[in-house]
Amino acid sequence: MNKKLLSIVLICVSNLLFAQSEYQIVVPMGGNAYTNIENDKTITRNGIANWNNSNIIYKVYVRLKQPGELKVAFDKITKVEGNSQLSMGINNKFQTVEVAEGKDTPKEIGSWQIKDTGYVAITLKGLKKTGGKFPDIGGLILSGSAITAQTSYVKNNEGNFFHWGRRGPSVHLNYQLPAQIEAEWFYNELTVPKGEDVIGSYFMANGFGEGYFGIQVNSATERRVLFSVWSPFTTDNPKDIPDSHKILMLKKGKEVHTGEFGNEGSGGQSYLKYNWKAGNTYKFLLRVTPSPNVKDSTTTYTAYFFAPELNEWQLVASFKRPKTQTHLKRPHSFLENFIPAYGDRSRKVLFNNQWVCDTKGNWISLNTARFTVDNTGNVNYRKDYAGGLDGDSFYLMNGGFFNHFTPAKTMFSRKATNKKPQIDFSKLP
């Protein structure tokens, strides 16, 4: 074999090996796609299904660890009716692809050059169809030099991750409370900046070892102040809780709804429908009092809410938790999105002036917090999470596929405000 022929053979073998070693991933639509249509039902666990509206625009998000070529193909095209013309694009550069009944699915839709790391939105549109609907699509096959083992996306539905992944990562601030302090009261101030009050957001101000207390955006027309205490009985179904482990409601404020909750643990829940406003600062006060009778082994949790529009403290509710003898433990705040369809929108909240008051009436400022993220972030399915300092406040931010992220377990310390809460406990409702 002459040298020229040998060189050609080596080049061919090299190209073949490179092609075989090219990294490839399958991105499921069920955990990574979003639409522009409110209350759309076409994104299912199996992918896009029953797509008959040409006004729907899908976006699929992946986070790239390196720039380079990005090649896109369809995975699991089914239920093809007639001929469909689809358009797929990245950074406003679109490719058209035809999917026809009785014919093989095109092996590749197109190729794009990605110039930077971070999140990429892959847009899918339906241009026209001759059948009753566009085809069902299970996912996208991505390959090329931009795709690596470190590409972030929701990989599968194990542990119901299509639900959690589309919701986006929840983020937390864990306030550092000295172990020797027997804290009875927990005070916090919360501000949602204007434009950050996205539907599905829970801005939780006063979290504790057994529950949470904050404000929500439940819909375009409804907002709530929410206070919940978990039962010591572990279940997602409140009907399974024995009487000896049930949360007892002692009292509640005017127009406050109370009941049981489930799905993420179970217990007692209370909420006040209140049209709180972005840009305003709201105050939260929680009291945690163990029974003086150790044999009783119960702890009472009472929540108060201060709205600047009303200029007074309001009682939300007071719950008694059995099998519990404790003062305040694990004071924290968190930010979550509880509606998966809104996981493609970012939200932000500010927390400031955190204090606890011990059993002797001494106020102690909480100036240091550890930032953490839930399992969706910890397994790198989503990386759009952040927290830290914004001026004199702590902040949390998630969703919307922004590129910067804060490493989990980072510690932050804000400036001491010395603005001790001026509260006469004896005058609280």
pLDDT for residue 294:
77
* Rounded (to 5) percent helix, strand, coil in the chain: 10, 45, 40
- Continuous H helices in 90-249: 161-167
What is the rounded distance in angstroms from the CA atom of residue 377 to the CA atom of residue 279?
Answer: 28
Q: How many residues does the chain have?
A: 429
What phi, psi does 382 have (nearest 5°)?
-135, 140
> What is the per-residue burial (b if ≥16 Cβ within 10 Å, else e) of 404-420?
ebbebeeebebeeeeee
Smallest CA-to-CA distance from 119 within 38, 63, 39 is with 63
Query: How far is it, in rounded angstroms, from Cα 226 to Cα 203?
Result: 10
Q: What is the pLDDT of residue 3?
A: 54
What are 256's strand-pairing partners? 272
What per-residue confidence (pLDDT) applies to 14?
45
Segments of the chain assigned to CATH 2.60.120.260: 25-153
Tens digit of each residue's pLDDT, the chain (429 residues): 555 554 554 444 444 444 445 899 999 999 999 999 999 999 999 999 999 999 999 999 999 999 999 999 999 999 999 999 999 999 999 999 999 999 988 889 999 999 999 999 999 999 999 999 999 999 999 999 999 999 999 999 999 999 999 999 999 999 999 999 999 999 999 999 999 999 999 999 999 999 999 999 999 999 999 999 999 888 777 778 888 888 999 999 999 999 866 565 567 899 999 999 999 999 999 999 999 987 889 999 999 999 999 999 999 999 999 999 999 999 999 999 999 999 999 999 999 999 999 999 999 999 999 999 999 999 999 999 999 999 999 999 999 999 999 999 999 999 988 899 999 999 999
Count of H-run helices and E-run strands, the chain:
4, 29
CB 286 within 8 Å of CB 301: yes
For domain 25-153, give the CATH superfamily. Galactose-binding domain-like (2.60.120.260)
Distance of CA 74 to the CA centre of its chain: 28
